[in-house]
Amino acid sequence: MRYTQSLERDVHALHSSAFRGLWGHQERAFEPWAAQTVRSERFLPDLARVAFAGDAIVGYVLPYSQDEPGRLYVGQIGTAESWRRRGVAGALLADMLAAAAGPGYTAAALDADADNPTGAAAVYLRAGFKIDQHLVAYTRAVS
C-alpha cells in the first residue's frame, strides 16, 4: 500500500519497536523523527510503501530524493519482528522500485549494517542491490 501522512505515527511506532535493541539504536520521540524522515523536504511519499496485516502495519520503506538526478535513497526500511523472513521487506522494495521508474528514477541506494542480525543484507541482494563499498566505524568512550 502507498504511504499516506495519516500513517506517520504508526510507522514511527513500528520503526521504534523494529529497531529497539539493534545497532545501538537510539529511541527518538515522534516529532524529531518525523522532521528527519516523513516530513523532510527530500521524502518521497508517493514512492513510500507500507505493508499491513489486518489493521497493523508490519513493514515500511521510506525513500528520499538525492542531489544526483535520477537517484533515490532508501533511508528506512523495517519489518515487525514477528513478520521478518516472510518476504515483507523484499515485496515493499520491489513495489517501491517499480513505482520509482515512472517518475524517472534510474538508481537507488541504501546503507546496511554488515552485522545486521535480521538478514537484511540478503534481502537487499535478492532485490538486486549490489555492494558498492564497505565501511567500518569505530567508537570508544572518552572517559
Check if the beta carbon of residue 3 is closer than 8 Å to that of residue 99.
no
Check if the beta carbon of residue 78 is closer than 8 Å to that of residue 20.
no
Check if the beta carbon of residue 85 is closer than 8 Å to that of residue 40.
no
Q: What is the pTM of this model?
A: 0.87
Q: How far is 38 from 140, CA to CA, in rounded Å?
A: 32
pLDDT in tens, 94-108: 999 999 999 999 999
Q: Using the predicted structure, report yes or no on whether residue 24 has a pLDDT greater than 60.
A: no
Check if the beta carbon of residue 37 is closer than 8 Å to that of residue 69.
no
pLDDT in tens, 51-63: 999 999 999 999 9
